Structure 1
Amino acid sequence: MANLRAGLIGLGMMGRHHARVLDSLEGVDLVAVADPGGDRFGAAPSYPVLRSVEELISCGLDYCMVAVPTGSHEEVALALASAGVHALVEKPLSHDVDSATRIAEAFETENLVGGVGHIERYNASLQQARMRVENGDLGEIFQISTRRQGPFPGRIADVGVVKDLGTHDIDITSWISGQEYKAVSSQTVHKSGRDHEDLVAILGSMSRGAVTSHLVNWLSPLKERTIAITGERGTFVADTLTADLTYFANGKVQTMWDEISRFRGVSEGDVVRYAFPKPEPLRVEHENFRDAILGKQNDIVSFRRGLKTVQVAEAVLESANQGVTVSIQSPPHVG
């Protein structure tokens, strides 16, 4: 069977990593790249750099990786759909719900595979967490709490921290818990002098009773990527920077020594840091999308699921702007 012919548009900070993976992905030939600004990072020195998605399409692609700025996702994705080219689009799917809906509908109409690059799903720590949650290791899920913070990235200009970083946590929380967001209440902060928010604190309620909290910002010198999943049997803590997953079991052993009980509590449970393989998340993401095109078993983030994430992100911003809790209605065909 011939290799799939892939293209890449966008050679910025993420595009250069996509180029590296696509250039070595089994079963795929990267045949062309495009960026109107050229290849400033030297991401694809072996390829001529085209200027537009139309030039890229003319190379005869099976699918295309879209790594252009968020505000350009719709234009590029609709051109690919019109040409019958499958697409993997960097997260978020688009800058607003209307645009994301048009993308999803265009790919459905043409019966094309569309995926959103929510890369955190492919982090080994979260893959393990989801598998263990599905196996019932924590029992009922009570809460998912995330902290995602670090210095401001100068490359982001067209969206704020909610749609750039917060969409990771929105997607992860729904995916791991198997629940949809029912409502969100949030507060944002603007400190960098840009039009968009730099910090957001979110409280959410989920469809089967779980509670969520997300702290996301570009204002901290501390880079942190942690997800704590608390259930009736204990807590999983995933660190996606190290891909570690640690299990804190509920206390079962009574603490007999009073001095210890003052800082460890009246009982203790086991603490286990799991050992498992840790492949590069971006490569796993691309392998899954390749397999989706080939009709093999896969775990991609569909455009409809990406649309749902954008919808929740917009509800977060509405809540902060209006000072109210915002209920969220599910769009049709979420998958």
Structure 2
Amino acid sequence: MKDCLNVCLIGTGRAGMIHARSYMGNVVGARLLAICDPCEENLKKAQEELHVAYTYADYQVALQNKEIDAVIVVTPTGTHKEIVLAAASAGKHVFCEKPMAISAEECDEMIAACKQHHVKLQVGFMRRYDESFQKAKEVITSGRIGEVTMIKSLTHGPSEPKEWMYDIAKSSGPIGEVNSHDFDTLRWYADSEVKSIHAIGRNFRSCEKKAEYPDYYDTVAVLLEFENGIIGMIDGAQYVQYGYDARAEILGTCGNVLVGSQKNNNVSIATHDKCMHAEVMPSWTKLFKDAYINEARDFIRCIREDDTPRVSGHDGKMALILVREGLRSLLEKRPIRIGE
């Protein structure tokens, strides 16, 4: 295998640029060779920062470049399947951002295509590459807290939803927008598949949207039962305004693990009014900056060593199924057995 693997980023929006920056001098043995985006403005802006060798408006043209070894797909979800199938057919290894696809059937097609053409398929759940979340997994595996009985995970996003997000047929609401990472984290920690799911949600912060979007919810609680008996709990919220929040707790028979913090840094200020003050984490881009770099490094390592990615196509598919079934539970106001 050649000394340096060449990567092409397909999709240069906000999330795409996070991946692009991860490859700018941070991943030994790989470089960002090309970028692709049908939006001329996005492509031009990205190139002004990245200065890559090739720019493309059409991913089909980019895939014809024999110098490219792998692609990073960070485009609208509805385009993932066609791009991944084309990339696999062209012999390019694939990193695909979550959500993996529109349906489980599309996920199966993507998995099959990558297997058929002998290329790697990794899905973007970066919490598995965060140092703190990884440490918790190590503690679980070691047995230091005994048998795991319950796992809790939360994600709260600070930003006001964009107009299209209020239509849960398009966004799935917080279950899809913020909690897909929690579903993956719980499956990873539990080392088991989900048996049943029950979600309850309500709109507390965007009441002015209730008439136009009666099904929209900004806050959700999800209860899960795993096949191995572990209980899972997830809470999600959008537009919390105070900052970005991603934490987890694992309860064992003889101990527990707490993961994450709401703090932006390790500075606390005590003032004359006997109060303690600290800055809150502002965004996911800062909290998981190192995790994104570790994720990119492991993708390249898997290609070089012909290893199985830590987050597989199956993991992407199962997270998508839980998002879909969680939303169905919320709308039908009842527990759902997975696969019913």
Which interval holds the TM-score relative to the shorter structure?
Answer: 0.7 to 0.9
**More moved, 27-36 vs 105-114:** 105-114
Distance change (3 Å), C-alpha of 1:40 and 1:164: farther
Match of 1:63 among 65, 70, 94: 70
For residue 3 of structure 2, give the secondary structure of its aligned residue in structure 1: coil
**1:197-218 superposed Cα distances (whole Å, 9 cap, x missing partner):** 5332100011211111111111
Distance across 2 between alignment mates of 1:240 and 1:27: 33
Tell me the TM-score normalised to structure 1 length: 0.81
Distance across 2 between alignment mates of 1:310 and 1:20: 27
In structure 2, the residue matched to 1:168 is 181
Matching of residue 282 in structure 1 with residue 292 in structure 2:
yes
Distance change (3 Å), C-alpha of 1:243 and 1:127: farther
In structure 1, the residue matched to 2:17 is 16
Q: Which amino acid aligns with 1:9?
A: I
Match of 1:147 among 147, 150, 154: 154
Distance across 1 between alignment mates of 2:144 and 2:252: 9
Distance across 1 between alignment mates of 2:308 and 2:107: 22
In structure 2, the residue matched to 1:324 is 334
CA deviation after TM superposition for structure 1 residue 227, in Å: 0.3
Distance across 1 between alignment mates of 2:263 and 2:298: 22
Aligned residues: 297
CA deviation after TM superposition for structure 1 residue 196, in Å: 5.8
Report if the CA contact (8 A) 1:123-1:240 is conserved. no
Distance change (3 Å), C-alpha of 1:99 and 1:242: farther
Report if the CA contact (8 A) 2:155-2:235 is conserved. yes
Q: Which one has a larger percent helix, Structure 1 or Structure 2?
A: 2
Match of 1:33 among 25, 32, 35: 35
Match of 1:75 among 75, 79, 82: 82
In structure 2, the residue matched to 1:238 is 259
Distance change (3 Å), C-alpha of 1:218 and 1:97: same
**More moved, 197-206 vs 139-148:** 197-206
In structure 2, the residue matched to 1:103 is 110
Distance change (3 Å), C-alpha of 1:319 and 1:306: same
Distance change (3 Å), C-alpha of 1:292 and 1:241: farther
Matching of residue 180 in structure 1 with residue 193 in structure 2:
yes
CA deviation after TM superposition for structure 1 residue 242, in Å: 6.2
Give the superposed CA RMSD. 2.5
Distance across 1 between alignment mates of 2:16 and 2:233: 31
Match of 2:59 among 32, 53, 65: 53
For residue 311 of structure 2, give the secondary structure of its aligned residue in structure 1: coil
Distance across 2 between alignment mates of 1:329 and 1:58: 40
In structure 2, the residue matched to 1:201 is 221
CA deviation after TM superposition for structure 1 residue 302, in Å: 0.6
CA deviation after TM superposition for structure 1 residue 40, in Å: 6.3
For residue 220 of structure 2, give the secondary structure of its aligned residue in structure 1: strand
Unpaired runs of 5+ in structure 2?
A: 266-287
